[in-house]
A and B are shown apart, each in its own frame.
Chain A
């Protein structure tokens, strides 16, 4: 075979490079194609609107929701619940995970326990949460917290454990004490991985939203979806799910942007 004239690796090279322009092209394509397929399927009229409304129906429902049913309010209360539950979980999970990842006794004491609780379904806690916390905002936040926290602790601990031994030992031979070890080495070294963990667990928090809004809610995206189910408003279920997806996509991009801003050294190559 004759060598190709153009020496640049092609688009389909395994782990090949890609220009910014091509990336956006393919990303848009990936998002647009399912919508087009959805639209075509709905327009063909093969499936009843009751089972699958078209994009136009869903869009109309979104406008109606925004106009008459306080969509913005639902969005804000849901974002508030998810973010608070997630942040509360992070505030406890970060120091605890750092300790589990740094000290063997803490690990031995807390990790099996966390593993045990982690497998309990968050939904099953609803009656207990209602009994203990009541039925106001804090109960919804509690459910999201329970769903997120135990996974988050283990991931944080794992991030800290993944700090290269050589970095830890280098600091030890430079005379770092325990506290400096945690503050100046383990935490600093694990930071990028920790931010990624925060990003991923934020996604999990959103998955617990609908569950959390089962508990005596009268607002929120999850609640709206549940009520739409009762009245068989398929288009509203679609709208709610897509809006949650969009919020997730935006949050994820914000986290990635923060990652690039906070850790420029990871993105700088010679």
Chain B
């Protein structure tokens, strides 16, 4: 284990939080079997924001669910936080698209649910109890939920519900935060606000985030590393490092949008443009094997990118 450290130490400061090697997933057996994922290799470093993007059916959600332990892989191996994944655990929190809040609990009770689970098991010291209640308040403030503390989830808008879901996931200080199209059901304006919020959380909490989306703009705006997946069978098509600073402004987002539009318009058809927009190495690819040319600037929007 010590020998290859010399090489990898330069690239990443620590061992990856999630390490996936030759992973495959087949649903069903015999003639009805469908390959959801084939030969997936992926590393997620500590305190990194990785986005998985692709058309529906490319297995991005399946991959996330395998990391969460909610789905079991049929081949290859997956290690999270130094342990082989055999099932769901509190070290890997998950935010679902919707309907995951407990409607019979108030906002504050929802957020404190994980603490209740731990208190149930009796592995709490009094100092931890103190710290935990402080943390719940911090998260309520962070998510702008103070006024809704005693409300029930069905009294809240979709955006507010997702804030609660994120706060609840963050409550036990998970090592990895997994997000499965968390803003997919929200309107465009709310989504903008949520983007800023999740970036703030990422910087403040020093989280490691794996974020699934079908929206290329969202993937580039949020992610430091964009993993583009392709369907039939689900696989990783290419991986890009986004050459933008960690903290991203709204202006930066507007540029990403323009960039996506201008590359999309060049593609053959509108329907395939979304998956194509990122598939070609316009942003700098991180994987040396998939690296084709050094990044240049996109003529239409002056993004550091290259034309196809």
- A residues with a Cβ closer than 8 A to B are 164, 166-167, 169-177, 180, 184-185, 188-189, 191, 263, 265-266, 268-270
Contact = CB atoms under 8 A, between A and B. Distances in A.
Given A184-B113, A184-B120, 19 more contacts: A167-B101, A167-B102, A170-B100, A170-B165, A171-B113, A171-B117, A172-B69, A172-B88, A173-B69, A173-B88, A173-B93, A175-B117, A175-B172, A180-B120, A188-B104, A189-B103, A189-B104, A268-B155, A269-B155
Nearest to B151: A270
DSSP class of B's interface residues: helix, strand, loop or mixed?
loop
A191 to B, nearest CB: 7
Given A185-B102, A263-B104, A170 B94 contact: yes
Given A169-B94, A188-B104, A269-B155, A174 B113 contact: yes
A189 B155 contact: no
A268 B103 CA distance: 11
B152 A268 contact: yes
Contacts of A171: 113, 117
Contacts of A174: 90, 93, 113-114, 117, 168-169, 172
A188 B155 contact: no
A166 B104 contact: no
A169 B90 contact: no
Nearest to A192: B104
B100 A169 contact: yes
8 contacts: A169-B70, A172-B69, A173-B90, A176-B117, A185-B102, A189-B104, A268-B152, A270-B156
B90 A175 contact: yes
B94 A184 contact: no
A170 B96 contact: yes
Given A185-B102, A188-B104, A169 B154 contact: no
A270 B159 CA distance: 14
Given A184-B117, A188-B104, A265 B94 contact: no
A269 B152 CA distance: 9
